[in-house]
Amino acid sequence: MNKIAKIARTELQTLFYSPVAWLILVIFAVQAGISFTGSLDGIFRLLSLGNKIKGLTGWIMSLFRPMQGYLYLYMPLLTMGLMSREMSSGSIKLLYSSPVTNVQIILGKYLAMLLYGLMLVGILVLLCILAALTIEHVDWPVLLTGLLGEYLLISVYAAIGLFMSCLTSYQVVAAMGTLALFALLNTVGTLWQDIPLVSEITWWFSINGRAEETLRGLIVSENVLYFFIVIFLFLSLSILKLQADREKRSRWANAGRFAAAVLIAMMLGYLTSRPALKGYDDVTRTKSNTLTPNSQDIVKRMKGGLTITTYVNLFDQDRIRGLPSAVNIDKRQLEQYIRFKPGIEMKYVYYYHRMPEGVGRQEYPELSDEARARRICDVMSLDISLFKTPRQIDSMIDLSGENYRFTRVLQRDSGQKTFLRMFDDMFRYPYESEITAAMKRLVMKLPTVGFLQGHGERNPGIFGDKGYNLMTTAPNFRNALINQGFAVRNFSLAGDDQVPADVNVVVIAELRTPLSDTERTKLDVWIAGGGNMVVAGEPGRQSLMNPLLSTLGVQLLPGRIVQPRRDFVPDLVLALPTEDACRLSYHFRDVKDNHLGIAMPGCAGLSYTTDSGFTVTPLFMTPPHGSWNELETQNFTDSLPVLNKAAGEREQSIPTVLALNRKVGEKDQRIIVLGDADCFDNAEMMGNRKGIRADNYQLGTGLFYWLSDGEVPIDIRRPELTDNKILLTKQSMSMVRLLYIWVIPALLAITGTLIWVRRKRR
């Protein structure tokens, strides 16, 4: 150990007596200071302007990512002379003749680089100290894991640079070779990904993103062991190279030793990447890298095996996400679940099948399906034999209901199965809420929402503007009830039909013809028995809806609410959430905090009594000014409404959505009444009116969360982040910039200059 320390000391002296090491420290400090203070200043300005930013520690850690790019360029300059200099000057012969071993030489050189790496990390430590002093409630463990990730990356780069320096006496060649090897390790994860076993090895060898999870506060054993295995590999190769130079062995013998070292590293890498052998430690305060407790509970309930089969259609727009070359990337979408259930088996089935018009890609539409598939495979260099024909896939599984889109099927050993889909938004992949909802359906019975039909009501199966398809049964719409854990069905009360036994929530959306006495009696029985309901009315339907609502002590007011504004029809109402709404369902909190509302085009006001046995809670109301219940003008095409107090019209807040609840035996009955049925329809789900700050997506999600007693959608909330305040002033920000961009780099430059001048004088 003493000899290793002496070699390291000598190497450090050589390093710091040259201007290169100091120049890199100075430049790195300047770059880090500019990046850090620039971001800190931006955050300070945003907060000063009244904006809310949560999780400032995460913002700070994101600054470490560009630092990795700088290290990528600087480490070859530092390591290029470690052994190349010895070879070119001839001093390597003195080392060989001295009483030191090859292991001591390599470890001594490497120790010197580790100590220099501590100086680079020390610059980042200064930034973290500033973060800790200026951010209230900073998440310290995240800062420490980020520093650990940066140092491990430096250590790997140093080992690789040392090995490349052993291969040549030319320092420039060693530096270029190191950069080339860095590039290879960053891209090797994309090579041969269509060959199963090889793809596992090349994917593991990739260094790209290995330090990313530590920056987020997640320590994964696979990543940590990766760094140590790669360091061990390149140090071993360096030692073997020195032995090959000193000993007289055949090329085959030397090649065998090198191959053995690589093979051992590959085997260790394969073993440490097995899900059952991986360990995790989420050090973040809110466990943001870990499944929420609700999701963990569902995974624990899932006893036995679980197979996730991904069906990839060659004609689908998302095909690239599931092709063999992208399988390892795709599997990462379920990494958090595999963490808690390592036995999950992932399978991929490839096929080609014509999709409905307007869905999927439209390449070569003039060709037959088989000809299209062959042409696409030829262009994309895919093996056509990998893809099942339409007849073969239809005999395996019915995907017609999924429109033959990119779809996963979750299946337990017991045979229970459900779909997990991709979504037509910018994120595409399902979030934790959708994945857990699909898994929850496999372990327990989830609520069924039944839509009454037979009187012109809104229909979940209708794709037009007035239909409810998007809110309920659209496979590729994230907020659809079927993707949040609910089952959806239609039912009728005609004849002897009753409310189906499996229905948990009855929806009656805009009656257009009256209920028969028999149907009314059946619904009264449902209400009296404590059944949950959603009743949505419309202006002009008061006479049809009020008889049913009278049982609840609620009535649709005559006329319709108007909220005149420029460029929009007067009866487009923007209803605002109440504080009671936020307490009833947390989904409405963001709506209120972001000053949003619910767009209700054509809405009847609601009145209610308090003696019906229900506790009535207004959830959404019109603003107190600028809106009223219009009793005279109903045709807004030819005339505009005018507030007429003499007719009983007055500006006031009017309830548009009410929540009713009461105890019926052991049941906690919950009922929602709305003065508008359009707020759920397809047009409003897809609507985006400029100047109308509405979030109708959250309406169905929030209401049905309450109606299901919090069963679904899955509650994936985490504790509030507290590191959201910077303890700086405008004057202190100037001092911070001066210190970190000028003073610290200047001190490093002065220290390096003094040492270099002193060395020259000697």
Q: What is the mean pLDDT of the chain?
A: 91
With 0-12 CB in 10 A as exposed, 13-18 as middle and 19+ as buried, what is 680?
Answer: buried
Total of domains in the chain: 3
DSSP 123-136: HHHHHHHHHHHHBT
Residue 333 has pLDDT above 90, yes or no: yes
At 762 the pLDDT is 62
Residue 715 lies in a domain: no
- The verdict on 522 and 615 lying in the same domain is yes
Percent of the chain residues past pLDDT 70, beyond the cut: 100
628-630/407-412 β-pairing = unpaired
Q: Which structure tokens are listed for 579?
A: 């504080």
606-608/554-556 β-pairing = antiparallel
Q: Which residues contact 744 (CB under 8 A, 6 or more apart)?
A: 29, 33, 123, 126
Is the CA virtual torsion 524, 526, 529, 530 positive or negative?
negative
- The verdict on 203 and 127 lying in the same domain is yes
- The verdict on 656 and 683 lying in the same domain is yes
Residue 720 lies in a domain: no
Gap between the Cα atoms of 21 and 27, Å rounded: 10
At 288 the pLDDT is 92
State the first-to-last Cα distance of the chain, in angstroms, to the nearest integer.
Answer: 30
- The verdict on 457 and 604 lying in the same domain is yes
Q: What is the CATH number of the domain that holds 577?
A: 3.40.50
- The verdict on 105 and 241 lying in the same domain is yes
Residue with the bigger pLDDT between 455 and 41: it is 455
- CB of 214 closer than 8 Å to CB of 64: no
Residue 28 has pLDDT above 90, yes or no: yes
Residue 487 lies in a domain: yes
Residue 435 has pLDDT above 90, yes or no: yes
Gap between the Cα atoms of 218 and 292, Å rounded: 15
- The verdict on 253 and 109 lying in the same domain is yes
Q: 202 is in which domain, residue-wise?
A: 2-284+725-761
- Residue at 502: amino acid letter: D
Residue 716 lies in a domain: no
Per-residue pLDDT band at 728 (split at 50, 70, 90): confident
**Of 403, 435, 467, which closes a domain?**
435
Residue with the bigger pLDDT between 81 and 579: it is 579
Query: Nearest-CA neighbor of 423 among 522, 322, 318, 323?
Result: 318
Lowest model confidence (mean pLDDT) among 50-59, 144-153, 254-263, 710-719? 50-59
At 260 the pLDDT is 92
Query: Nearest-CA neighbor of 512 among 568, 435, 564, 452?
Result: 452
Across the beta sheet with 407-412, what order do the strands follow? 345-351, 306-313, 407-412, 417-421
Residue 465 lies in a domain: yes
- The verdict on 463 and 504 lying in the same domain is yes
- CB of 313 closer than 8 Å to CB of 387: no
- The verdict on 560 and 451 lying in the same domain is yes
Residue 638 has pLDDT above 90, yes or no: no
- The verdict on 222 and 353 lying in the same domain is no
Query: Nearest-CA neighbor of 724 among 54, 138, 142, 57?
Result: 54
Lowest model confidence (mean pLDDT) among 116-130, 440-454, 635-649? 635-649
Residue 640 has pLDDT above 90, yes or no: no
